[in-house]
């Protein structure tokens, strides 16, 4: 690149730029090398050659990529935001978005560039300006962003509108208080008819207000029809959203079928009393239910999404697939299988996700994937995780007809080199064997053959699976048990050894001769075994003791003694337990009698289940489904409603794009909360008051429908918890390795069966009533509700807190004993004015006397502090409350009032303005303690600074309370941000103890509220100080007539106009009080105005002289609207806040 040699040269001569930093005593030597390193970059950025700038930016971006911190270059980079070269500009954007949050003050400098961009005639520039503006995460510009978004949402160009939609979630994440306004924008954009916008706005909807489903009604049909032309990423978002929407608005297409389907399931679970009970309400509801007719809108959605199954984008295909799975009638779901199978040819990550979803679907709808069975065959080159998922699917698909081919396939897999996969295959065979009774023996034989496999892991896994299978029909398989008993010599895998021991113990009557011998061997090697094996040895010993005490008494004693001194406390506990339980002593209680029952109870076989069972309560294709836990921000898929809500809400007045105009056009109902909309039997014409009833009805119905289930559910839940506890204990007693369920069998026949029943009942119910599926669902949705509630209340309380914070503040502020000058002036003013308008002013007078304590200007500063300038707040709080500036303010307002009488006499104005200084609020610059006796205060005098009209005059008052004289007081080493200038005051040669001196200095704040940092030096010390102006002090009053004002205001509309609604407090009802408060907040002058209840103020910014116009319009009551027009949007927004604060109670 041509830039690099140039850069080299410059580096040689870069000494020139350095001294600036070298001499800075604060920066010290440590950092200087750092400065040197980036100096060349800074110089390159400052040069006027684009190529140099580009090179510099490229290197900076490369630095960021390497993870180095480039934040100290921020000022130098930001300057280039206005660069003409588009590549430089882009890279500056990249940089800005990365660092703006860290350097908020500086980032504000770039904002005007973007604001200009927002007005560019080129749509692409407008869009990119909005994009970057919204990506700068600086809270202070939230109002600007809000405005920009609103503006862009009604832009002519769809591309800009799309960008606006993208900006919405960004703003929301920055400041969630804007939600209501953003929802308005979303509502507006949702009605957009272009495909470009649709995807983006739905994305914004999903992030900001997914609960406001009512916003979709009007746009539902449009979205369905546009869908196919939306870009693919948007399609995914829209489809997912519409799935949720449809679940709330339409009836389940499978309600009748699902009822029919249940019956065999029930039969399978056999004669349970609960079942019988359940049947009745179901049957009743079946009778009640009308024959199902699909809503045309429901059909529209299904029809319009179907072609997207052909999309090249896997995410779109998956989205459609889940939509069909959740919404389509059972007969139609099959179409998605093909497309999903096609995705299996894609990248392995895609395969992984698709297979997870297929696994879930294949449990619910096995038939769907059966034709594609072979597509799930496993290749030796597949990654293990894919293999295991395919295995899962194959297992789910297995049924009596295809099991033989599947088993043949499994045989190949068992010989694989991938041992994890082999283990999974063995598990899969076990599951097939349990599910399909026909092949159980074949599988078992196959597994037994595997016991002679050379690989220990394979054998171990087989043992575990065989154990589970044997539990189903132990009596027929004593041969296998014998075979396994022989294996104890060879198998070392603990889990397998434990399984064998458990089997032998459990079925010791089938192998009466071998069992004691096994125990003998195990006793010998007891100390060397793993913990789970030891536990099973103890179990085996106990069971043998009970059945065959003659042979095994001593062995048992021996084992128990060994266990007594084991290191593991579980084993010691178990040994103690069992000794008490089985060995009869005097002390041992009643349980001893039941020992045999406890240990040798019939235990139900474990159920081998897919881990994907019941995963479908998560929306398929979602992250939550994949992880099987609720992910952050997951939107629950609602259950079908029992009654369809009113379909007419989706009617649109001009359905030009809809084809289903056949639907009768009903009059639009205006924004009903959709939950209360229920069509009912009587249709939409039903009067509104019947609605709550029907809701409650449906609620109660659903309540009753699920009451038994939910009742039993909660029962089972609590019982489960209880039983869990109990079983814990019992397990210890019982050593029943297979868990709590078996442990139950002894105590009472009813207890265990109950539990089982419940579990099966749950299953049954789930199938019976998908709409009441999972109490967990409803529970969590409730939870969600409460969460949102609490959050809202939180935010409420937050705002309350804020209020309460501000309230005492205002209360604390002493209602100033209005100094003598004040009432006089007021009186004078009122007198004069009352000549014109008596009625109005009598009131104001009274008010003005009692309550209109002029606010001290501390508020705006404090406000700034809140906005992220902590220094200011600190200072304000430490500063003693000053007596308020009522006289001056009143007098200025008087001036403007006089202006109103068109007595525009500038000399009068200036004379009246001049005394303001004495009464204006002062701020502390240096505290007496910190300044070692020297205290410094400053105030904004609101007088023009004569040497330079672009500077703000700051009066500084020094007072020396120390013992010694202070000499050589001066300003030195200002470290100013770019754009800020400072006119130093003449050095004060000496200040005697007890003396005070005041000086005026000028600061050009460059129309920003950034602090001017400098040092105050005395002969002996330096103090770091900074002066930060409230935004109101950056202005200088301008006098203009009403007509001029209106003319100027007309030029400053759109983006430059900021409007805020507010409520005026009681003490601010009078004109005077309002004017006063505004004038305290900002250095503005009042513009005379003919209309009542409209107050206008004008000013210009000190540095650039751009106009700032304030209009305050009182509406009826206490409501008012504040409008600020200014080119400088930052100033405008901050001013609005200040004025609103000033007018707050």
The single residue among 45, 164, 182, 354 that binds another protein, judged by CB under 8 A, is 354
- In the shown chain, the binding pattern of residues 35 to 54 toward another protein, with x for contact by CB under 8 A and - for none, equals ---------------xx--x
Sign (positive/negative) of CA torsion 728, 732, 734, 737? positive
Residue among 288 and 312 whose Cβ is closer to another protein: 312
Residue among 61 and 608 whose Cβ is closer to another protein: 61
DSSP helix/strand/coil, 1110: strand
Q: Nearest 5°: phi and psi at 948?
A: -145, 110
Smallest distance, another protein to C-beta of residue 408, A = 9
- In the shown chain, the binding pattern of residues 119 to 148 toward another protein, with x for contact by CB under 8 A and - for none, equals ---xxxx-----x--xx-------------
Residue among 58 and 299 whose Cβ is closer to another protein: 58
Residues 250-289 that bind another protein (CB under 8 A): none
The single residue among 79, 161, 170, 1086 that binds another protein, judged by CB under 8 A, is 170
Residues 574-593 that bind another protein (CB under 8 A): none
- Round to whole Å and give the CA distance between 736 and 743: 6
Residue among 785 and 817 whose Cβ is closer to another protein: 785
Smallest distance, another protein to C-beta of residue 126, A = 11
Residues 614-673 that bind another protein (CB under 8 A): 621-624, 626-627, 629, 631-635
- Round to whole Å and give the CA distance between 353 and 321: 13
- Round to whole Å and give the CA distance between 1071 and 1089: 12
Smallest distance, another protein to C-beta of residue 330, A = 21
Binding to another protein by residue 457, rule CB under 8 A? no
Binding to another protein by residue 312, rule CB under 8 A? yes
Contacts of 300 (CB under 8 A, 6+ apart): 221, 224, 225, 660
Smallest distance, another protein to C-beta of residue 201, A = 11
Residue among 169 and 430 whose Cβ is closer to another protein: 169
The single residue among 129, 182, 238, 317 that binds another protein, judged by CB under 8 A, is 317
Which residues make beta-bridge pairs with 1086? Answer: 1097
- Round to whole Å and give the CA distance between 997 and 959: 6
The single residue among 23, 288, 290, 379 that binds another protein, judged by CB under 8 A, is 379
The single residue among 26, 62, 721, 801 that binds another protein, judged by CB under 8 A, is 62
Angle formed by the axes of helices 232-249 and 296-305, to 10°?
A: 160
- Round to whole Å and give the CA distance between 800 and 304: 48
The single residue among 212, 280, 366, 415 that binds another protein, judged by CB under 8 A, is 415
| 8 Å CB contact between 964 and 973 | no
CB atoms within 10 A of CB 339: 21
- In the shown chain, the binding pattern of residues 289 to 308 toward another protein, with x for contact by CB under 8 A and - for none, equals ------------------x-
Smallest distance, another protein to C-beta of residue 98, A = 7
Can you read off the two tokens belonging to residue 782?
């409730």
Residue among 584 and 633 whose Cβ is closer to another protein: 633
DSSP helix/strand/coil, 568: coil
Residues 181-210 that bind another protein (CB under 8 A): 195-196, 200, 203
Tell me the window of 262-270, 383-391, 478-486, 986-994 that interacts with another protein (CB under 8 A): 383-391
Smallest distance, another protein to C-beta of residue 535, A = 29
Binding to another protein by residue 318, rule CB under 8 A? yes
The single residue among 107, 146, 216, 315 that binds another protein, judged by CB under 8 A, is 315
Smallest distance, another protein to C-beta of residue 415, A = 4
Smallest distance, another protein to C-beta of residue 50, A = 7
Q: Could you report how far apart the first and last alpha carbons of the chain are, in Å?
A: 64
- Round to whole Å and give the CA distance between 410 and 423: 11
Binding to another protein by residue 314, rule CB under 8 A? yes
Residue that has been written with the tokens 């004569």 in this structure? 946
Residues 84-103 that bind another protein (CB under 8 A): 85-87, 90-91, 93-94, 98
The single residue among 13, 19, 29, 67 that binds another protein, judged by CB under 8 A, is 67
Tell me the window of 61-69, 528-536, 743-751, 857-865 that interacts with another protein (CB under 8 A): 61-69
- Round to whole Å and give the CA distance between 127 and 93: 13
Nearest 5 degrees, angle CA 969-CA 971-CA 973?
A: 135
* Contacts made by residues 620-627, CB under 8 angstroms, sequence distance 24+: 620/318, 620/321, 620/322, 620/325, 620/326, 620/357, 620/360, 620/361, 621/240, 621/318, 621/319, 621/321, 621/322, 621/353, 621/357, 622/240, 622/322, 625/356, 625/357, 625/360, 626/353, 626/356
The single residue among 23, 288, 290, 347 that binds another protein, judged by CB under 8 A, is 347
Strand runs labelled E in 831-963: 922-926, 934-944, 952-960
For residue 979, with 0-12 CB atoms within 10 Å meaning exposed, 13-18 middle and 19 or more buried, which class applies?
middle
Residue among 462 and 1069 whose Cβ is closer to another protein: 462
Q: Which residues of 88-120 are buried (b: 16+ CB within 10 A; e: fewer)?
A: bbebbbbbbbebbeebbbbbbbbbbbbbebbee
Residue among 66 and 587 whose Cβ is closer to another protein: 66
Smallest distance, another protein to C-beta of residue 223, A = 16
Smallest distance, another protein to C-beta of residue 180, A = 21
By CB under 8 A, how many residues form the interface with another protein? 95
**3-state secondary structure labels for all residues of 958-1002:** EEECCCCCEEEEEEEEEECCCCCEEECCCCEEEECCCCEEEEEEE
Tell me the window of 60-68, 510-518, 534-542, 819-827 that interacts with another protein (CB under 8 A): 60-68
The single residue among 1, 16, 748, 901 that binds another protein, judged by CB under 8 A, is 1
Binding to another protein by residue 231, rule CB under 8 A? yes
Tell me the window of 153-161, 215-223, 918-926, 1007-1015 that interacts with another protein (CB under 8 A): 153-161
The single residue among 6, 61, 142, 472 that binds another protein, judged by CB under 8 A, is 61
CB atoms within 10 A of CB 1116: 7
Binding to another protein by residue 385, rule CB under 8 A? yes
Residue among 8 and 371 whose Cβ is closer to another protein: 371
Tell me the window of 258-266, 295-303, 368-376, 742-750 that interacts with another protein (CB under 8 A): 368-376
* Contacts made by residues 981-990, CB under 8 angstroms, sequence distance 24+: 981/951, 981/1006, 982/1012, 982/1014, 983/945, 983/947, 983/948, 983/951, 985/956, 988/958, 990/965, 990/966
Residue among 80 and 539 whose Cβ is closer to another protein: 80
Smallest distance, another protein to C-beta of residue 726, A = 33
- Round to whole Å and give the CA distance between 379 and 389: 13
Q: Nearest 5°: phi and psi at 559?
A: -60, -45
| 8 Å CB contact between 104 and 142 | no
Angstrom CA distances, 929 to 720, 875, 924, 935, 968, stand at 69, 14, 12, 8, 20
Residue among 455 and 789 whose Cβ is closer to another protein: 455
Which residues make beta-bridge pairs with 991? Answer: 966
CA-wise closest residue to 960 among 992, 985, 929, 998: 992
Binding to another protein by residue 313, rule CB under 8 A? yes
Binding to another protein by residue 236, rule CB under 8 A? yes
Nearest 5 degrees, angle CA 608-CA 613-CA 618?
A: 160
Q: What is the DSSP letter of 842?
A: H
Residue among 124 and 874 whose Cβ is closer to another protein: 124
Smallest distance, another protein to C-beta of residue 447, A = 16
| 8 Å CB contact between 546 and 582 | yes
Residues 976-1035 that bind another protein (CB under 8 A): none
């Amino acid at each position: 690149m041509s830039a690099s040699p140039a850069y080299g040269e410059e580096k040689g001569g870069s000494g020139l730029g350095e001294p600036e930093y070298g001499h800075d005593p604060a920066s010290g030597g440590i950092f200087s090398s750092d400065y040197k390193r980036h100096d060349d970059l800074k110089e390159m950025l400052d040069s006027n050659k684009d190529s140099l700038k580009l090179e510099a930016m490229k290197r900076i971006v490369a630095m960021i990529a390497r993870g180095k911190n480039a934040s100290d270059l921020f000022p130098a980079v930001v300057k280039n935001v206005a660069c003409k070269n588009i590549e430089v500009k882009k890279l500056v954007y990249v940089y800005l978005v990365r660092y703006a949050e860290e350097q908020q003050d500086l980032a504000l400098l770039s904002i005007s560039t973007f604001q200009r961009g927002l007005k560019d005639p080129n749509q692409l520039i407008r869009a990119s300006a909005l994009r970057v503006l919204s990506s700068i995460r600086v809270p202070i510009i939230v109002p600007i962003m809000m405005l920009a978004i609103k503006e862009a949402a009604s832009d002519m160009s769809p591309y800009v509108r799309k960008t606006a939609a993208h900006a919405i979630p960004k703003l929301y994440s920055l400041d969630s208080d804007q939600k209501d306004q953003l929802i308005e924008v979303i509502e507006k954009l949702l009605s957009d008819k272009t495909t470009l916008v649709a995807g983006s706005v739905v994305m914004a909807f999903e992030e900001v207000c997914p609960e406001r489903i009512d916003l979709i009604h009007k746009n539902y049909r449009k979205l369905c029809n546009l869908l196919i032309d939306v870009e693919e990423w948007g399609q995914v978002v829209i489809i997912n959203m519409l799935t949720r929407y449809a679940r709330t608005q339409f009836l389940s297409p499978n309600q009748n079928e699902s009822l029919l389907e249940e019956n065999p399931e029930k039969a399978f679970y056999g004669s349970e009393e609960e079942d019988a009970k359940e049947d009745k309400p179901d049957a009743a509801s079946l009778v009640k239910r009308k024959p199902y007719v699909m809503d045309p809108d429901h059909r529209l959605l299904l029809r319009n999404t179907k072609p997207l199954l052909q999309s090249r984008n896997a995410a779109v295909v998956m989205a459609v697939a889940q939509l069909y799975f959740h919404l389509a009638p059972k007969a139609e779901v099959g179409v998605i299988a093909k497309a999903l199978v096609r995705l299996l040819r894609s990248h392995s990550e895609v395969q992984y996700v698709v297979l997870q979803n297929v696994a879930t679907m294949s449990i619910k709808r096995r038939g769907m994937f059966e034709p594609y069975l072979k597509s799930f065959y496993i290749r030796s080159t597949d990654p293990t995780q894919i293999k295991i998922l395919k295995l899962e699917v194959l297992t789910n698909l297995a049924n009596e007809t295809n099991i033989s081919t599947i088993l043949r396939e499994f045989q190949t897999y068992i010989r694989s080199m991938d041992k994890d996969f082999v283990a999974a295959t063995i598990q899969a065979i076990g599951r097939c064997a349990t599910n399909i009774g026909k092949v159980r023996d074949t599988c078992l034989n196959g597994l037994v053959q595997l016991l002679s496999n050379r690989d220990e892991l394979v054998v171990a896994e087989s043992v575990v699976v065989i154990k589970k299978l044997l539990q189903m029909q132990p009596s027929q398989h004593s041969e296998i048990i014998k075979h396994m008993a022989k294996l104890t010599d060879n198998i070392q895998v603990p889990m397998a050894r434990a399984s064998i021991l458990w089997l032998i113990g459990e079925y010791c009557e089938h192998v009466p001769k071998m069992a004691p011998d096994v125990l003998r061997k195990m006793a010998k090697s007891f100390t060397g075994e793993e913990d789970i094996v030891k536990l099973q040895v103890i179990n085996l010993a106990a069971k043998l003791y009970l059945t065959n005490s003659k042979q095994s008494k001593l062995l048992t004693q021996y084992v128990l003694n060994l266990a007594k001194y084991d290191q593991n406390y579980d084993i010691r506990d178990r040994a103690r337990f069992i000794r008490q339980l089985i060995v009869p002593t005097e002390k041992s209680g009643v349980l001893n009698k039941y020992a045999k029952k406890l240990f040798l109870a019939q235990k139900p076989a474990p159920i081998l289940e897919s881990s994907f069972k019941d995963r479908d309560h998560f929306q398929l294709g979602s992250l939550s489904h994949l992880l099987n836990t609720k992910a952050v921000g997951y939107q629950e898929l609602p259950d079908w409603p029992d009654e369809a809500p009113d379909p007419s809400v989706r009617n649109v007045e001009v359905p030009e794009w809809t084809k289903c105009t056949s639907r009768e056009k009903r009059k639009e109902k205006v924004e009903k909360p959709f939950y209360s909309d229920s069509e009912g039997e009587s249709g939409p014409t039903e009067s509104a008051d019947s609605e709550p009833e029907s809701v409650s009805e449906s609620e109660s119905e659903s309540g009753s429908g699920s009451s038994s289930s939910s009742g039993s559910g909660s029962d089972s839940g609590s019982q489960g918890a209880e039983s869990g506890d109990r079983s814990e204990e019992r397990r210890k007693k019982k050593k029943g390795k297979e868990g709590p369920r078996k442990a139950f069998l002894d105590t009472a026949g009813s207890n265990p069966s109950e539990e089982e029943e419940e579990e099966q009942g749950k299953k049954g119910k789930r199938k019976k009533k998908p709409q009441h599926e999972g109490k967990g669902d409803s529970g969590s949705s409730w939870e969600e509700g409460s969460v949102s509630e609490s959050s809202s209340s939180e935010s409420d309380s937050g705002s309350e807190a804020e209020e309460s914070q501000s309230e005492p503040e205002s209360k604390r502020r002493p209602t100033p004993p209005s100094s003598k000058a004040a009432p006089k002036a007021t009186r004078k003013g009122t007198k004069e004015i009352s000549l014109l308008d008596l009625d109005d002013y009598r009131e104001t007078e009274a008010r003005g006397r009692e309550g209109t304590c002029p606010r001290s200007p501390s508020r705006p500063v404090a406000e700034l502090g809140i906005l992220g300038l902590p220094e200011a707040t600190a200072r304000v709080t430490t500063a003693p409350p000053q007596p308020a500036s009522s006289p001056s303010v009143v007098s200025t307002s008087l001036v403007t009032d006089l202006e109103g009488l068109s007595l525009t006499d500038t000399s009068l104005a200036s004379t009246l303005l001049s005394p303001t200084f004495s009464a204006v609020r002062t701020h502390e610059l240096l505290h007496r303690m910190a300044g070692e006796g020297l205290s410094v205060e400053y105030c904004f005098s609101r007088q023009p600074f004569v040497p330079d009209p672009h500077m703000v005059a700051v009066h500084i008052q020094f007072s020396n309370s120390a013992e010694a004289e202070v000499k050589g007081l001066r300003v030195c080493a200002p470290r100013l941000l770019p754009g800020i200038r400072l006119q130093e005051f003449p050095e004060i040669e000496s200040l005697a103890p007890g003396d005070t001196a005041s000086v005026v200095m000028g600061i050009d704040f460059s129309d920003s509220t950034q602090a001017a940092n400098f040092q105050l030096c005395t002969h002996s010390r330096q103090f770091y100080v900074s002066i930060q102006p409230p935004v109101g002090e950056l202005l200088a009053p301008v006098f203009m007539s009403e007509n001029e004002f209106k003319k100027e205001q007309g030029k400053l509309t759109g983006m430059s106009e900021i409007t805020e609604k507010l409520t005026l407090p009681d003490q601010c009802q009078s004109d005077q009080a309002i004017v006063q408060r505004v004038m305290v907040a900002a250095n503005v002058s009042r513009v005379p105005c003919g209309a009542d209840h409209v107050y206008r103020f004008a000013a210009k910014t000190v540095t650039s002289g751009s106009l700032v116009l304030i209009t305050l319009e009182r509406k009826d009551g206490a409501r008012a609207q504040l409008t600020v027009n200014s080119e400088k949007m930052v100033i405008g927004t901050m001013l609005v806040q200040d004025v609103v604060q000033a007018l707050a109670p």
